[in-house]
Structure 1
Amino acid sequence: MPYQIRPARSDDCEALSHIGQATFALASPSDSAPSALQHYITHNLQPEHFQQHLQHPHKRLLIVEHDGHAVGYSMLDLAPGRLDIAAAEHRVEISRCYVLPEAHGQGAAQLLLDATLAHTCGAVRLTVNEGNARAIRFYERNGFRKVGEAIFPCGDERHNDWVMVRSPAGL
């Protein structure tokens, strides 16, 4: 059965939390302290956090499934905070786009990103850790370009992220 996309529901919060926890370290610098990663997971990736996102008027969550099992998710923020980078201001943000490692290279991430972008109009932004070469290549192939840098707080650490923007035409 091919991958399928659907909106996330309240009964998905455990699965969303599992995916978030299983993929967060992959999106972080390889030398991140385990305590810093755990701090972020504890304070941002628990089922109750996803329940709050689902109830938030500016958040949209999608799930990619395979054989009825969630293997990834994305989250749009329709009103993200300021980054003080002119090209990224007043843009919808893909604040999360994660796929479990077993679904990497299988088309799930592309399907998820395409579905997520279909819920936007105008330019869209995202941040990605500067050391996450695989994700950066993926986003560049999909028309995102680096427009600046931002700091991502993770426990006691500060990670360097690229801020990337994609125009409506993907150019």
Structure 2
Amino acid sequence: MTLSADIRAATQQDIALIQRLGRETFYETFAASNSEADMQQYLEEHFSESRVTEEVNTLCSQFFIAYWDHVPVGYLKLNWSAEQTELQDEDALEIERIYVKSSHQGNRIGQALFEKALQQAKSTAKHYVWLAVWEKNEKAIRFYEKNGFQAFDKHSFQLGSDKQVDIMMKKLII
């Protein structure tokens, strides 16, 4: 029997789970390339219970959780309309976060989350999907390029005291 990811829309009952997954996957992804102080500051600011509760309750954002063999292993956060972090284009859907625990990477869970984002974009008649990815996250950049994204701009991203550069990428929906 081959396992596959089960993707479910998150609810208010999932706030603590999203908070935990967010902290864990962000730390796994970026701790080796950033100072511990910057990482802890970012995690406290962006994955506090109040912040995650506010995000889950936002009308123009939605979280999805990926389960592998009934265990939560990743998540996706989408934004549209004025909730988009940068463009705020009514014709666009933003993938703000797509993370999978390192222990489960390679099982196509990130791909399943990405496909859920495309499905949401198509079902809401968006013209394109966009995201921002750290310029030093080569693995993620390759993943997005493989999935048809193209770079179109850059913006600054603050991680603790470190100002970093994100590459903004988009994919047209056909």
TM superposition score normalised by structure 1: 0.88
Q: Match of 1:116?
A: 117
Q: Match of 2:106?
A: 105
- Given that 1:149 and 1:162 are in contact with CA atoms closer than 8 Å, whether structure 2 keeps it comes out as yes
Aligned residues: CA RMSD: 1.7
Matches within 5 A, 1:1-171: 1-28=3-30, 30-79=32-81, 80-82=84-86, 90=89, 91-120=92-121, 121-169=126-174
Which segments of 5 or more consecutive residues in structure 1 lack a partner in the other structure? 83-87
Report the Cα distance in structure 2 between the residues aligned to 1:64 and 1:112, rounded to whole angstroms.
7
Report the Cα distance in structure 2 between the residues aligned to 1:72 and 1:62, rounded to whole angstroms.
9
Q: Match of 1:85?
A: none
What secondary structure sits across from 2:75 in the alignment? Answer: strand
Report the Cα distance in structure 2 between the residues aligned to 1:146 and 1:29, rounded to whole angstroms.
25
Report the Cα distance in structure 2 between the residues aligned to 1:53 and 1:109, rounded to whole angstroms.
21
- Larger mean CA deviation between 140-149 and 41-50 belongs to 41-50
Report the Cα distance in structure 2 between the residues aligned to 1:29 and 1:158, rounded to whole angstroms.
15
CA deviation after TM superposition for structure 1 residue 51, in Å: 1.8
What secondary structure sits across from 1:13 in the alignment? Answer: helix
- Given that 2:31 and 2:39 are in contact with CA atoms closer than 8 Å, whether structure 1 keeps it comes out as no
TM superposition score normalised by structure 2: 0.87
Which segments of 5 or more consecutive residues in structure 2 lack a partner in the other structure? none
**2:155 alignment partner AA:** A
- The 4+ residue runs of structure 1 with deviation greater than 4 A are none
CA deviation after TM superposition for structure 1 residue 31, in Å: 3.3
CA deviation after TM superposition for structure 1 residue 26, in Å: 4.3
What secondary structure sits across from 1:124 in the alignment? Answer: strand
- Given that 1:5 and 1:62 are in contact with CA atoms closer than 8 Å, whether structure 2 keeps it comes out as yes
